[in-house]
Amino acid sequence: MSRILTVGAAQTGPIQRADSRSDVVERLIALLRQGADAGCDLVVFPELALTTFFPRWWVDDRAEFDHFFETEMPGSDTKPLFDEAARLGVGFHLGYAELTPDGHHYNTAILVERDGLLAGRYRKVHLPGHHEHEPWREFQHLERYYFEPGDGFSVFGAFGGVVGMAICNDRRWPETYRVLGLQGCEMALIGYNTPVHYPPDPSQDVLQGFHNGLVLQSGAYQNGMWVVGVAKAGEEEGCLLLGESSIVAPSGEVRARCTTDGDELVVAECDLDMCSNYKDTLFNFGYYRRPEVYGRITGQTGVEVPDDVASSLGGDDGTGGT
């Protein structure tokens, strides 16, 4: 048996600060139409796909940046995307900055079914970067200033399968995939904006593509799920963002990957039943997992080197952040 879902990874090129929402939505609609022509059931857009990556700037009054946030979804600018998706019968995943009616700010992604109706919402759990202005950096990464963290990873029954969402930095954490995997997730959708330059440790700059592939592929394989990672790429307001949007099979193999830094759609036929090749064998969680020895995973946050080991070594307590 097979359950084939044809998925498009709809990478976008940069979105500059001066670009209007409606111009950006037009670009997304063009990618959606390409997806429809290619037979896609689902088109996946990046994190914060409607605006420039504004956390690269500090403003004393955060409310000055509220115009980067959506207060309703769909709103007047995004409704044409919903309408076109429903007309084409193609679902989509979209990342955006969300400002709730009661004043909460989140880095959010939604899943919209082929009939244009909301199937799920996710608010980013792992917020990277820093909370204070750090003028020594070439650019800021102030997600911890502009957003509040979301409260968990859920899955949704959609597109004939079990679909989960995560956002950018979440993809570097094995806990993300495992918490989704423990809910039977068959496909994880993950948008990202990843600056190639990493100010706290520039030795990682040349490894950004390698690390991106590493985490998407290992997350897919170790949990027997499809992973669709989609970038906003290219030079945005002087900051180069990684491309390499990829569709990864439950085997860990890359089935499609973008080769440019611009608006680009790559498509793969994803058989959701292929997940069981891994979920029912090598990664049969119910049979092989040993949660009784995994207590530290949920019981502590930072590193706790046992006292006897620490006293023999001395050194760092591992509490630094970036």
Q: Is 47 part of the annotated catalytic residue set?
A: yes
Spell out, one character per residue from 144 to 183, where the chain touches ligand CDT: x when CB under 6 A holds, - when not: ------------------------xx--x-----------
Candidates 63-71, 187-195, 256-264, 274-282: pick the segment binding ligand CDT (CB under 6 A). Answer: 187-195
Contacting residues for 152 by C-beta, under 8 A, at least 6 apart: 125, 179
CA 299 to chain centre: 25
CB of 193 to ligand CDT, least distance (A): 4
Residues 5-64 that bind ligand CDT (CB under 6 A): 47
135: left (phi > 0), else alpha (psi -120 to 50), else beta?
A: alpha
Contacting residues for 211 by C-beta, under 8 A, at least 6 apart: 172, 204
Spell out, one character per residue from 197 to 236, where the chain touches ligand CDT: x when CB under 6 A holds, - when not: -x--------------------------------------
CB of 107 to ligand CDT, least distance (A): 8
| Binding flag, residue 85, ligand CDT (CB under 6 A) | no
Q: Which of 40, 47, 186, 275 is catalytic?
A: 47
CB of 216 to ligand CDT, least distance (A): 12
Spell out, one character per residue from 98 to 137, where the chain touches ligand CDT: x when CB under 6 A holds, - when not: ------------------------------xx--------
Using CB under 6 A, which of 123, 141, 257, 279 touches ligand CDT? 141
Candidates 31-39, 174-182, 192-200, 277-285: pick the segment binding ligand CDT (CB under 6 A). Answer: 192-200
200-213 residues labelled b (16+ CB within 10 A) or e (exposed): eeeeeeeebeeebb
Q: How many residues does the chain have?
A: 322
Contacting residues for 115 by C-beta, under 8 A, at least 6 apart: 86, 89
CB of 227 to ligand CDT, least distance (A): 15
Q: Which of 124, 186, 232, 244 is catalytic?
A: 124
With tokens 């502009």, the residue in question is 146
Q: Which is nearer to ligand CDT, 168 or 275 (CB)?
A: 168
Q: Which of 40, 70, 168, 232 is catalytic?
A: 168
Q: Which is nearer to ligand CDT, 87 or 133 (CB)?
A: 133
Q: Is 185 part of the annotated catalytic residue set?
A: no
Contacting residues for 110 by C-beta, under 8 A, at least 6 apart: 73, 93, 94, 96, 118, 120, 121, 122
Structure-block tokens of residue 179: 């918490």
Q: Is 239 part of the annotated catalytic residue set?
A: no
Contacting residues for 62 by C-beta, under 8 A, at least 6 apart: 105, 145, 146
Strands 4-11 and 264-271: antiparallel
With tokens 């090598």, the residue in question is 282
State the number of binding residues for ligand CDT (CB under 6 A).
Answer: 12
Q: What DSSP designation does 315 have?
A: -
With tokens 């029954």, the residue in question is 157
Coil vs helix vs strand at 58 = coil
Q: Which is nearer to ligand CDT, 15 or 88 (CB)?
A: 15
Q: How many CB atoms lie within 10 A of CB 264?
A: 19
CB of 102 to ligand CDT, least distance (A): 25
The catalytic residue positions are: 47, 124, 168
Which residues contact ligand CDT (rule: CB under 6 A)?
A: 47, 128-129, 141, 168-169, 172, 192-194, 198, 322
